[in-house]
Copies of this chain bind each other. A is one copy, B any other.
Amino acid sequence: MGYQSMRGNSSQLLSRIAAGDGHGENSSYFDGWKAYDSNPFNPSSNLGGVIQMGLAENLLCLDMIKDWIKEHPEASICTEQGLTDFEAVANFQDYHGLPAFRQALAKFMGKARGGKVKFDPDRIVMSGGGTGAQETLAFCLANPGDAFLVPTPYYPAFDRDFCWRTGVRLLPINCYSSDNFKLTKAELELAYENAQRDNITVKGVLMTNPSNPLGTTMDRDTFKTLLSFVNQKRIHLICDEIFSGSVFNQSEFLSVCELLEEEPSYDRNLFHIAYSLSKDMGLPGFRVGVIYSYNDAVVRCARRMSSFGLVSSQTQHLLAHMLSDDDFTSEYLAENKRRLHKRHGEFTSGLEKLGIKCLPSTAGLFVWMDLRQFLKESTENGELELWRVIINDVKLNVSPGSSFRCTEPGWFRVCFANMDDATMHIALRRIGDFADKLKEDTTQMQNKKRFNKKLRLSFCRLNDGAIVPHLMSPHLLSPRSPLVKASN
């Protein structure tokens, strides 16, 4: 890199998209990733580095996938046993995807939902990860300026995936901790009416189930209310179910497919599912995204669009073999559930011992952690101040609720499945030390406040460069953190 524009402002030279910041990377959600990238924790070489708890990855079962691959050299085109398929695979570029891959995916998706629903392989459309699935659906369903309603808190990258290049808008349906962040009919209607008042065409509702970031699943009553609403308004429902195979308690998870079977009068053209193998199989690098639509025209259009994000046929071929191995997928899904459940239990009970609660959850690779008790002020600024301390001093990349458009400050999404047990325990210890420190500071601060009250006038005069606890910048806390010392 190094060439510079020789003349004038490059923003005129480029598109509005390129010149703007619709990519959303200015969010604290991504800032946390950058902090991790610049100083990543490593158990052997960088014990004091930032632990990545901002990435919803699942490393817990990769050993099973590796074992399967070792036992099935014929599934890869890069082994002596599989090389005979090389030409056919290397040259395959049909945007329908390898038929065997779509069949295996359909089967796997049914199984991940407890075998209660069947998927039609001909409705499966490939996309470049979940990212591509969201964008493709937005391109198919809405015009620039149109909106989808989305319950808050919601996955920050939706702003990039769903809106950036499509010009489609996301409008929040506010949810509150008093309801355990459940979607309510009143808020759903309010969001819709607000949009109408502002002359914005609402084309649908976008939701994650299981919820990212909450780790909760949508209950039957709420879901039925939502389905009835979209059907009555004749707007779309996109259910992002990319964590459907990551539910610890399967009986609690209800896929939109199940409800649709119960409601044959609903117009199926309104219903679409986004899926991916990045989370349930822990294979984000393979870029397998799936669109499943009940609308024929959307299937056709999305399939044409999949030219822009086809899955490498090398990867399709491998996964077609793997996912059509019934014994393996059954065992994998069951074991994945067990391990996630165990990890979730250990992590949340570890937090509880430290006096930190999370929203009760039964799914996903993260918890929604309640740090409201530690806010200096109950505002977005207060939350971000606390978050900067956690990133910079505690050296944990967790994601602040405000980056998920949460309406209440003090909540954080914390990922727990992208690390080994030892790293999780280090993270818990760091949180514990930090909580102790904050409690201590709070006590000191309260004492100081009492003291300062008496000295207010003289304090104002003396305040040139003095550090006042409640004004402390996150950075200034740093030298006093035992964790930071330990890491140097």
Cα distance, A141 to B14, chains bound together (Å): 4
Q: Cβ of A318 and Cβ of B78 under 8 Å apart?
A: yes
* Binary interface encoding of chain A residues 284-322 relative to chain B, with 1 for a CB under 8 A from any of its CBs, else 0: 111100000011111101001101111111110010000
Specify which of B6, B123, B146 is in contact with A267 (CB 8 Å cutoff). Answer: B6
Taking CB atoms, residues of chain B closer than 8 Å to A18 are 139-141, 297-298, 301
Q: Which residue of B lies closest to A89 (CB)?
A: B285
Does A83 sit within 8 A of B, measured CB to CB? yes
Can you list 5 residue pairs at the A/B interface with Cβ under 8 Å? A3-B294, A18-B139, A19-B297, A76-B79, A91-B282
A92 to B282, CA, bound (A): 11
Measured CA separation A65–B314 after assembly (Å):
14
Complex Cα distance A131/B294, Å? 27
Binding site for B on A (CB under 8 A): 1, 3-7, 10-11, 13-19, 23, 25, 57, 59, 62, 65-66, 69-70, 73, 75-80, 82-83, 86-87, 89-93, 120, 122-123, 128-129, 131-132, 135, 139-143, 146, 160-161, 165, 234, 236, 267-270, 278, 282-287, 294-299, 301, 304-305, 307-315, 318
Apart from A15-B139, A90-B282, A161-B307, list 15 A-B contacts with CB within 8 A.
A1-B296, A7-B234, A10-B297, A13-B295, A14-B141, A14-B295, A57-B91, A69-B83, A70-B80, A128-B128, A128-B310, A285-B313, A287-B311, A308-B308, A312-B312
Among A25, A91, A92, chain B packs the most CB atoms within 10 A around the CB of: A91
Nearest chain-B residue to A418 (Cβ)? Answer: B91
Beta-carbon contact of B301 and A287 below 8 Å: no
| A93 partner residues in chain B, CB cutoff 8 A | 129, 278, 284-285, 287
* A contact face: mostly helix, strand, loop, or mixed: helix
Give the number of times this chain occurs in the complex, counting copies.
Answer: 2
Instruction: Evaluate contact between A139 and B165: CB separation under 8 angstroms.
Output: yes
Q: How far is the CB of A290 from chain B (nearest CB, A)?
A: 15
Residue from the set A76, A294, A295, A307 with the largest chain B CB neighbour count within 10 Å = A307
- Provide the bound-state CA to CA distance between A473 and B239, in Å: 50
Which of B66, B285, B311 is within 8 Å of A92, CB to CB?
B285
Most buried by B among A23, A139, A284, A309: A309
User: How distant is the Cα of A154 from the Cα of B436 in the complex, in angstroms?
Assistant: 68
Residues of B within 8 A of A282 (CB): 90-91
Nearest-CB residue, chain B, relative to A82: B78
Residue in B6, B90, B309 whose CB lies within 8 Å of A269: B6
